Structure 1
Amino acid sequence: MTDLAVQIRHELPGDADAILHLHERAFGPGRFARTAFRLREGVPVRLDLSFAALVGTLLVGSVRMSPILAGREQALALGPLAVEPAFEGRGIGAALMERALQAAREAGHGLVLLVGDQPYYARFGFEPVPKGRLEMPGPVDPARLLAAELVPGALDRASGRVLAMRA
């Protein structure tokens, strides 16, 4: 197989349908019951912090950021991170993560939360949130609630309920 050039660019409003179909293929119908999905439901995606990966004109990956409150601390919810199953294992997810976190850092954000596998996300600076520090709006395995401090001390200022920031 030949190497395929992957372009990463900001998510555009016209990408929404392709990204929804990507989420269907990557996560299946069970995604609607997940707490992380419910947290983001009805919240506008921050297009300036969300990215799409393309091979030619084919959208093969996506990462999104949404505004949240972690107690009184403004933060971002990262996710979902999705890569077209046929394109997994090629570094697309890692490239999307790095680009989104860099954009958030450059925009002055201090804290990013996600629900995911710590062994994968640790390389991007994510660590488990101390047990009992944050309360998600539904059940979450505490070992999967992860935070990355883009500004030192941001997680120390976050405690209490995690809520979506609606426009």
Structure 2
Amino acid sequence: MLRFLPETETDLPEVEGLLDLAFAPGRELLSSYQLRQGVPPVAGLSMIARDDYDALVGAIRFWPVRVGAAGDPALLLGPVAVHPIRQGEGIGAALIGETLERAAESGWPAVILVGDEPYYRRFGFTRAAAEALDFPRPVNPARVLARALRPDGLAHLAGAVRPWS
């Protein structure tokens, strides 16, 4: 059985170790990291998954970002990581589903991510929803996806995606 818990300061070393294990070296050079620098992840939405042995088997983080000249708020999802020996068990999907519900309940209007549309489409993310966004370079624009968390969530979301602070 898995337990989904909010990520805390004490989880940080384990989460960073999982991210290092799950992603290629140099992950900090990705454009999405530009948006995260100096900004803490959103408390209550950044979560971890622990198994029966209390081992960290998954993690997800959300970051606040601003969009366009008006600085409209949105969330940046990522990274989502699952320990390599536990991939394929639905842990990542469960983390995404749980946290998207929490994000909607918290009043966030929309979520942006960089990822594969065929995977994220089942959670409501599309490239079409992100067409009006100018994501920091370098990024493959075909991988910038978005989804609304409320009916008008994407109505005013257009322009440059930039850090929260």
SS state of the match for residue 18, structure 1?
helix
2:19 counterpart of 1:20: no
Normalised by the length of structure 2, the TM-score is: 0.93
Q: Residue 142 of structure 1 aligns to which amino acid in structure 2?
A: P
Equivalent of residue 27 in structure 2, options 28, 31, 52: 31
Q: How far apart in 2 are the matches of 1:111 and 1:132?
A: 14
Equivalent of residue 50 in structure 1, options 46, 53, 62: 46
Q: How far apart in 2 are the matches of 1:160 and 1:109?
A: 18
Q: Residue 7 of structure 2 aligns to which amino acid in structure 1?
A: E
Of 24-33 and 73-82, more deviation after overlay is shown by 24-33
SS state of the match for residue 103, structure 1?
helix
* Percent of pairs with identical residues: 41
How many pairs were matched up? 162
CA contact (8 A) 1:129 1:145 kept: no
Matched with 2:3 is 7
Uncovered stretches (5+) of structure 1, i.e. residues with no partner = none
Closer/same/farther in 2, CA of residues 131 and 84 from structure 1, 3 Å limit? closer
Normalised by the length of structure 1, the TM-score is: 0.92
Matched with 1:122 is 121
Matched with 2:96 is 97
CA contact (8 A) 2:65 2:75 kept: yes
2:63 counterpart of 1:63: no
Uncovered stretches (5+) of structure 2, i.e. residues with no partner = none
Q: Compute the displacement of 1:59 (Å).
A: 0.7
Q: Compute the displacement of 1:32 (Å).
A: 1.5
Q: Residue 162 of structure 2 aligns to which amino acid in structure 1?
A: L
